[in-house]
Structure 1
Amino acid sequence: MSGIDAYRKTINQTATSRDTEYRLLAQVTSELIKAIGNKDGAGNDPTKMSQVASALNWNKQVWDVFVEDCGTAGNQLPRDLRAAIVSLGIWVTKETALALEGEGDIDSLVAVNRDIMKGLKPSPAAENQTTPKPGSAVGSILDQA
């Protein structure tokens, strides 16, 4: 078993779904913040352009999974919350497309992620929640990282 496999096994055994989602959003938000710094001059620097595009696409993938997860039959979130997440996901898709064209606002994408992270912030009460199942939607994004 490689070190990465052992780490993933430990995460699956100890982390709640909220903790995993929080950590994932923290990672992608960190990359978006780097992208904000790289977007100036990205037109003349392929390395910067690649980092900006990668960060934006990764963020969109995360939100696509959140939207898909909200539509699954077993999702136990309240209906209104699922609808709000779907609406945000649609906005993220549109804003990402604009940002890739140089017209969107990466700062707004960061702000949305941070607001969601506030709601997911790990707390002592989070320890009482169930652990994520291997192969879950969010877990598959971590598998790609």
Structure 2
Amino acid sequence: MYQFSYAEVAQESSSTAREREREAFDNMIASLERAETAGPRSREAIEAIYVTRNLWSILVEDLASAENALPEELRASLISIGLWVMREAESIRLGRVESFQPMIEITQMIRDGLES
């Protein structure tokens, strides 16, 4: 039988969770890029807005939780970014904004930060 220390199991769980977060961001970025190519009134745009709002809603809720272990200042910054992304997605849906590019760039930066 294998025996693992709690620290090893906790580290593996943390790295697995981070990998899943990166994959979720990768999927969101791919969806946003398809929407950017297809245009703000396309089926791809509807899908990208849906995916983006859902993922950021989950992330913001988790970041606002008292159980979240990230430093409070970082959590607050990420919540602000998430709220901005959701507002930007809504602006595209309403026809006030035409480009997904700012959301793509911000999301890529957040995803890349998970790799550190």
In the superposition, the TM-score normalised over structure 1's length comes to 0.65
2:70 to 58, 64, 77: 77
Query: Per-residue deviation at 1:50?
Result: 2.0
Query: Which residue of structure 2 aligns with residue 139 of structure 1?
Result: none
**Is the aligned partner of 1:114 residue 2:105?**
no
Instruction: Report the identity percentage.
Output: 26
Verify the 8 A CA contact 2:52 2:86 in the aligned structure 1: no
- Rounded to whole Å, the distance in 2 between the matches of 1:102 and 1:86 is 24
**5+ unaligned residues in a row in structure 1: which ranges?**
1-12, 43-48, 124-145
- Rounded to whole Å, the distance in 1 between the matches of 2:108 and 2:14 is 23
Deviations along 1:110-131, one digit per CA (max 9) or x if unpaired, are 001100011112x7xxxxxxxx
**Letter paired with 2:103:** L
Query: Which residue of structure 1 aligns with residue 5 of structure 2?
Result: none
Deviations along 1:67-107, one digit per CA (max 9) or x if unpaired, are 00011121000000100011011111210111112332310
Deviations along 1:43-83, one digit per CA (max 9) or x if unpaired, are xxxxxx22211111211111111100011121000000100
In the superposition, the TM-score normalised over structure 2's length comes to 0.80
Q: Which has the higher contact order (CA 8 A, sep 6+)?
A: 1
Deviations along 1:13-70, one digit per CA (max 9) or x if unpaired, are 7962111111100011001000001006x4xxxxxx2221111121111111110001
What secondary structure is seen at the aligned counterpart in 1 of 2:67?
coil
| Aligned-residue RMSD, C-alpha | 2.0
**5+ unaligned residues in a row in structure 2: which ranges?**
1-12
